[in-house]
Amino acid sequence: MKEIRREDAVIALLEAIGWSGYSEITVDRPDHSPRVLASLIRRASGILGQAREYQLVDYVFWPLVMILGPDRRPDESIREHIQRVIEYLLGIGDLVAVTEVIGGRRKTFIYPGEPRFVQRKNGDILVIGILPEHNEPVTGELGKQLDYRGYLRFLPGCLYEQLKEADSLREIPFDMWMEIPLGIDDPRTYYKKIVQRLEQADPYNGDLNLQRWYRSDEPPKNKNAHRYRWKDDMPKSAKGFCIVNFTDTFGVRYWAFAKVDAGEIERCVFLPTDPGALGGKFEAADEARMIQLSMDCYREKKQIAKVNPDASGGGLVKVYAPLPGWVDRRWSVLGEKLPNPQPRNNHDCLFAYRFGPTELETELEFAKAKVWLSVEYEQDC
């Protein structure tokens, strides 16, 4: 039997997701490419239909392991990265999570999002969703014009009228896309309510495995700080409230807000707290981020957004921890999300958004009032 070269296997993988203009770097390390990971996740969802998060992760992780071979084999950190990409695709709408309460436990199933589009302020078109058994929302000539930027896909604004007539795509009204959750005006009130709910919860029975917990100390100030706040082991000195992840025997991940004393979880509220047809007001990860933002604000250690103004009056807004999906959706149409933000002034960040002069100040006020961020200005070197 003829041996298949690793490069040929990777190229076959890239062609399967519809990517012909790949680079040598992508062939060498496809597991480092945002487009490859996002496309593989979308394709897995399009094929599987209903899936748990761990099933999507396995569907992407194990083919990469087999294709890359022992010299470039992805480690378990890639699993975590795939999970983060799934969370991002849920936030933007490529994937949809439906949470049900079964046996007192919240179970979340992930489905491919309906193909749809929204026209951005600058005129181009953000396309989201997945056709069944595909990794794209459009095929044929339209599919060939997709412009990939990080995890997102765009079409030229000149195709707007054509898209409106397409049977396979639905337009999302701009105002609907920009909707924000109710009840987020005061972070301290928000935090007190979730703490009160936690205090009224039943004692935790310990039936799940603690995967990790999020240590609240100083706000993240570089792209690695957020990841380092996640800790695997909870020391005996741990006390107070924190976000935790549990796993069950099948590897299913659960998000929760927990009360801890002497390194032991006393009570927890599983997220989302308001599961509904589409996960209620928040998805689990989004609600966890809102709780963390409110907790940091309550402790007077707000998370930071740094601004690099430019000569036009616009600027680059850098953030150091994941934002709730509804914030990312808003900023992805009002500004330009940079897939690989470059370091500025010897700092780096987790995500960055570039805004024009008409949006920058408005969105900075929005960040302070609704996302509870502290805004700091920097100057370009």
Q: How confident is the model at residue 337 (pLDDT cuts 50, 70, 90)?
A: confident
Give Dmax (Cα) for the chain. 67
Neighbours of 10 (CB within 10 A): 22
Q: How far is it, in rounded angstroms, from Cα 81 to Cα 49?
A: 22
H or E stretch covering 241: strand 240-247
352 close to 251: Cβ distance less than 8 angstroms: no
Mind listing the pLDDT tens digit for each residue in 153-188? Answer: 999 999 999 888 887 889 999 988 988 887 778 999
d(CA 195, CA 372): 18
Q: Please write the tens of the pLDDT for every residue from 151-161.
A: 899 999 999 99
The Cα 344–Cα 318 span in angstroms is 10
In this predicted structure, what is the pLDDT of residue 342?
46
Domain 112-177, classified CATH 3.40.1170, yes or no: yes
Least confident range of 1-15, 73-87, 198-212: 1-15
For residue 257, how far is the Cα from the chain centroid? Answer: 19
pLDDT at residue 68 greater than cutoff 80:
no
Question: Distances in Å between the alpha carbon of 198 and those of 157, 287, 329, 374?
Answer: 47, 14, 29, 27
Residue of higher predicted confidence among 65 and 267: 267
Collect contacts of 7-16 with beta carbons under 8 A, ≥24 apart.
9/67, 10/67, 10/68, 13/40, 13/63, 13/67, 16/43
Q: Cβ contacts of residue 119 below 8 Å, gap of 6+?
A: 125, 126, 157, 160, 171, 174
Residue-wise burial string across 19-54, b where 16 or more C-beta atoms lie within 10 A, e elsewhere: beebeeebbeebbebbbbbbbbbbbbbbebeebbbb
- In this structure, what token pair is assigned to residue 195? 């703490």
Cis peptide before 272 (omega within 30 of 0): yes
- Pairwise CA distance, residues 81 & 57, whole Å: 10
- What per-residue confidence (pLDDT) applies to 76? 67
More confident residue, 281 or 303: 303
Taking the alpha carbons of 59, 28, 138, 115 in that order, is the dihedral positive or negative? positive
pLDDT value for 103: 65
Judge residue 211's burial from the number of C-beta atoms within 10 Å of its C-beta, 0-12 exposed, 13-18 middle, 19 or more buried.
Answer: middle
At 346 the pLDDT is 43
Tokens standing for 4?
């298949």
Of 18 and 294, the structure prediction assigns the larger pLDDT to 294
Distance CA 187, CA 293 (A): 8
Q: pTM for the whole thing?
A: 0.83
Upper half-sphere CA count for residue 209 (Cβ side, 13 Å): 9
Q: Which residue has the higher pLDDT, 297 or 26?
A: 297
In terms of pLDDT, which residue wins out, 122 or 342?
122
pLDDT at 295 over 90: yes
Q: Which residues contact 219 (CB under 8 A, 6 or more apart)?
A: 296, 301, 302, 303, 304, 320, 321, 374
SS3 378: coil
Kindly list the distances between the CA atom of residue 70 and the CA atoms of 28, 37, 228, 283, in Å, as whole numbers in the listed order: 13, 19, 27, 36
Q: Which residues are CB-neighbours of 139 under 8 A, at least 6 positions away? A: 131
pLDDT of 277 strictly over 50: no
The whole-angstrom separation of Cα 155 and Cα 171 is 13
Residue 35's identity, in one-letter code, is R
Instruction: Look at residue 379 in the predicted model and tell me its pLDDT.
Output: 66
User: What was the pLDDT predicted at 185?
Assistant: 80
